[in-house]
Chains A and B, each alone.
Chain A
Amino acid sequence: MTMPTDAAPRDASGDALLICRLLAADPHGLGGVALASGSGPGRDAFLSCYKKLASASAPLITVPAHVSPDRLEGGLDIAATLAQGKPISSRGLIASADQGAMLLLSAERMSLDKAARIASAMDHAQTSRFGVIACDESREDDEALPKILSERMAFRINPDAGIKALHSDAVIPVDLARKAQELSILKAVEQALAETVLMLGIASPRALIFAFRVARLHAALTKQTTVTEADATIAAQLVFAHRATQMPIEEQSSEEEAKSQNQDSDSNTSNYTEAQSGALADRVLDAVRTHLPEGLLAKLDASAFSRQGRSGQGAKAAKAGKTRGRPLGARRGDPRSGARLDLVETLRVAAPWQRLRRQTQPKRTGVIVHKDDFRVRRFKEHRETTAIFVVDASGSSAIKRLAEAKGAVELILADCYVRRDRVAVIAFRSKSAEILLHPTRSLQRAKRSLAELPGGGGTPLTAAIETTLALADQVKRTGGVPLAVFLTDGRANITRDGTPDKAKALSETESAAKALRASGIKSLVIDLSDRPEGAAKTLAAALDALYLPLPHAEANAISNHVGAAMKSAGRSS
């Protein structure tokens, strides 16, 4: 297997400029770029470079994350309508961005519904053809650009690396996008790009379409008449690297795989040999490897759930947007009581009465609004409850009852599923506790994580409680209500630092339990031991938790208790 030769690793400094040039040439076709950096010189340089490069007629419309949905799509301009006494409609931001691009500020904070509107406008391109430059300032894992948007953008880059290059005087030839469309791509190159996509575990065919477009644009930019390997390599680096979800299988096996894939597709490709395309795909792949984001490898190896984890991220962000209170519509109310006035709704209610009211008060000008017309915004009041199951999978007596515990969890899951609550699973055994399942509504993932639960080893209860506390805090931050459900016999025998010492472990557990109680998290202890009323009861007391000994509680009863606890948790907050 040869090392990359002609596909020498290019550094990221040139990429920013290249992306800027490509995007300015065809913002709609490429969808856009996510600028992964805080506000700073890099982003400024990118934007000013983009403005310089984009044709004078191409608008760049700034859209803040808190934009109102009607501003996006346009519609009746209430202020102007009231002032002039006749309907004035305003042009939405989407329509204004036609033939240009939209600049989304703090795009990671944009709520899913607005992201969905923009995405759908990009797809249909009926009213407006535009691309998106999304400023993504997300730092922590629980924030991310809405997947629905990032999926539709070809690029993602940190512009800080390319500041110097961005200050260049580069120009783009006129009509580049049209010229690019006329270029043909060598079959072997197409094939190599497709193989690369598959090897990197990218699920969306959009990635490949973007890569084709980028390759063509790059060829046109460098004034070639066909799209060659060099163009494809660059396209793959720019489009695929940040989308990769798996490391390509190393060396030999990847060659074999490429070959077997070639054989599959032999029937409809004829004018190149297997070996050619296979080698080409390898070279492209090697080039992408140099561009993979740092830490990707570690992230992917870290857990067997890596793929699910990634696809879950979008959902997590989506749900965060939801729990922070999406308006449920408006209802009659007094705006002085602290609720937010819904102006549009109020006017909507007042409007039909205007003619009548004018007759009684002929001298008044403007809209006559009565107190009864006031409508206030209503937000989702039921906050999502997240049940965190903390399952003791240690080798002590708990293991015997693990199956029963799983039965109880199963019932609770089915209930959560109907009530649209979320569940998380933490398992502890041997020396540490591990979050098996981050809060999710997906039954599939919960199912899988429980089925894969291993057993045996010590009982690190302290670690379990501390992990629970951290997760519960995270749930609270995103606007949910955590409820901890411990399934254990309470016989802690592993200390915080992982050494077996029963007495110390028990005292540590007690203080950890008190910390959990102090943070106001409701909990339940389901005693798994054969002879209840022992350590688990002490734990329940320390947690101020509802105590349910399993021998007396059937799975159904447990499910009912948890259900009731979740309901009250959702109400009380």
Chain B
Amino acid sequence: MSSRFPFSAIAGQDEMKRALLLTAVDPMIGGLLAFGDRGTGKSTAVRALAALLPAMKAIDGCPYHCDPATPQAQCDACREKTKPKTKSMPIPVVDLPLGATEDRVVGALDLERALASGEKAFEPGLLASANRGYLYVDEVNLLEDHIVDLLLDVAASGENVVEREGLSIRHPARFVLVGSGNPEEGELRPQLLDRFGLSVDVRTPTDVATWVEIARRRLAYEADPDAYAAQWESHESELQRKLVAARKKVESVTLSDEIMERAAALCLALQTDGLRGQLTLMRAARALAAFEGRKQVTLEDVKRMAGPALRHRLRRNPLDETGSQTRIDRALAELFG
């Protein structure tokens, strides 16, 4: 397979790229929602990010690619193995296409094996393939409601429970949910909105130079993907190094009580729904500090992440013209000066 489009070669869209990187630094942040125009490189960025991440170790032959290092997160079959064979594989990125059937998503009876040998076997679905990786949902706002409900459950529990057609299976399904869509075509239910850790508005660039650069880079990549990837190799490995370092460090970045309190005050002032907003804000600020090599979360980190972490959790007033970002900016100015 030819090389993927390099992450560092994506022109513009800095906010989206940073948010994506932070979800990689700390997957517990819980996914990213990118709302905005079509053709702005959302899908490309997710794929490029997965290619950027170092390969992961997985138990060989496991359809959920369980992690040999964390037995508590393994599927039943893997837990029983005493000395499983491991392999190294790229971080999976799974597309959830619009109109995917429940079968495709959750998994279903393996028809092939059932017909051929009369065996009742489980054919893992997209959720299984996405375990430990990324689940990318394009046009997430147009997704069928029953699929959305399904995603909500699994994203919350990290586990896919299948109870159908006489099958009774549960398997780990921890993934970073990345959704994209255009809010003009329909909105997401607040329940699903809340499941996304960060949200960014992806706008078409407005300057000629970026436009030219986007098209130029795309064509250069297509002409020779491998050579193009090689050209960006140094950028990519630098970014990868930064990312891996941040991942190691993120747990040890300290958060002072003062910062926690001020973040809580911000969430209170904005009346965000639920506690998840505040948790995500803290995690995101910590991930940002780790990514930029700081040992402590600063107020600046909180300020920078307030938009992406809280924007989609504000209670909406249909008659209020003020955008979410404006409200956050106002609250930031009031509280943090």
Contacts and interface: CB of A to CB of B under 8 A. Distances in A.
A111 B142 CA distance: 12
Nearest to B44: A123
Interface string A403-417: 000110110011001
B111 A123 contact: no
Given A87-B112, A120-B138, A205-B204, A444 B215 contact: no
The 9 closest A-B pairs by CB, nearest first: A113-B99, A204-B39, A315-B185, A351-B114, A265-B209, A116-B98, A355-B118, A194-B211, A206-B39
B212 A190 contact: yes
A413 to B, nearest CB: 4
Contact of B319 (A113, A148, A212, A450): A450
A95 to B, nearest CB: 16
A210 B166 CA distance: 50
Interface in B288-305: none
B120 interface: yes
A264 B97 contact: no
Contacts of A308: 184
Given A194-B211, A311-B184, A348-B111, A151 B97 contact: no
Interface in B154-192: 165-166, 182-187, 189-190
Interface in B202-245: 204-209, 211-212, 214-216, 218-219, 222-223
A330 to B, nearest CB: 10
Contact of B214 (A148, A208, A327, A446): A208
B68 to A, nearest CB: 28
B211 A116 contact: no
Interface in A230-271: 261-262, 264-265, 267-269
A209 B97 contact: no
B203 to A, nearest CB: 9
A69 B104 CA distance: 12
B215 A212 contact: yes
Given A198-B208, A414-B318, A444 B183 contact: yes
Nearest to A265: B209
A513 interface: no
Contact of A208 (B139, B215, B318): B215
- Indicate the size class of the contact surface on chain B: 35 or more
Nearest to B119: A352
B1 interface: yes
23 contacts: A87-B112, A113-B98, A116-B139, A120-B97, A203-B204, A204-B37, A208-B212, A208-B215, A211-B215, A312-B185, A327-B101, A328-B146, A329-B102, A329-B146, A347-B111, A414-B316, A417-B187, A417-B189, A441-B187, A447-B318, A448-B321, A450-B319, A451-B321
Given A113-B98, A311-B182, A443 B318 contact: yes
Nearest to A411: B318
Interface of B: 1, 37-41, 43, 95, 97-103, 108-109, 111-112, 114-116, 118-120, 138-139, 142, 144-146, 165-166, 182-187, 189-190, 204-209, 211-212, 214-216, 218-219, 222-223, 316-321
A349 B319 contact: no
Contact of A212 (B1, B111, B190, B219): B219
A76 B111 contact: yes
B119 A120 contact: no
B111 A195 contact: no
B208 A195 contact: yes
The interface centre, meaning the residue of A89, A208, A347, A410 with most chain B CB atoms within 10 A of its CB, is A208
Interface in A34-69: 69
Interface in A308-327: 308, 311-312, 314-315, 318-319, 322, 326-327
Contacts of A69: 99, 101
Interface string A383-427: 000000000000000000000001101100110011010000000
A181 B184 contact: no
Nearest to B203: A203
Contacts of A353: 118
A268 B208 CA distance: 11
Interface string A198-232: 10000111111101110010000000000000000
Contact of B212 (A113, A117, A194, A322): A194
Interface of A: 29, 69, 76, 81-82, 86-87, 89, 111-114, 116-117, 120, 123-124, 126, 147-148, 151, 181-182, 190-191, 194-195, 197-198, 203-209, 211-213, 216, 261-262, 264-265, 267-269, 308, 311-312, 314-315, 318-319, 322, 326-329, 344, 347-349, 351-355, 406-407, 409-410, 413-414, 417-418, 420, 440-448, 450-451
B99 A205 contact: no
A126 B95 CA distance: 13
A120 B102 contact: no
B271 to A, nearest CB: 15
Contact of A203 (B38, B99, B108, B183): B38
Given A181-B222, A314-B185, A418 B208 contact: no
Given A203-B204, A209-B219, A326-B144, A114 B99 contact: yes
Nearest to B164: A329
Nearest to A382: B145
Contacts of A315: 142, 184-186
A265 B207 contact: yes
A267 B207 CA distance: 12
A270 to B, nearest CB: 12
Contact of A116 (B41, B116, B138, B218): B138
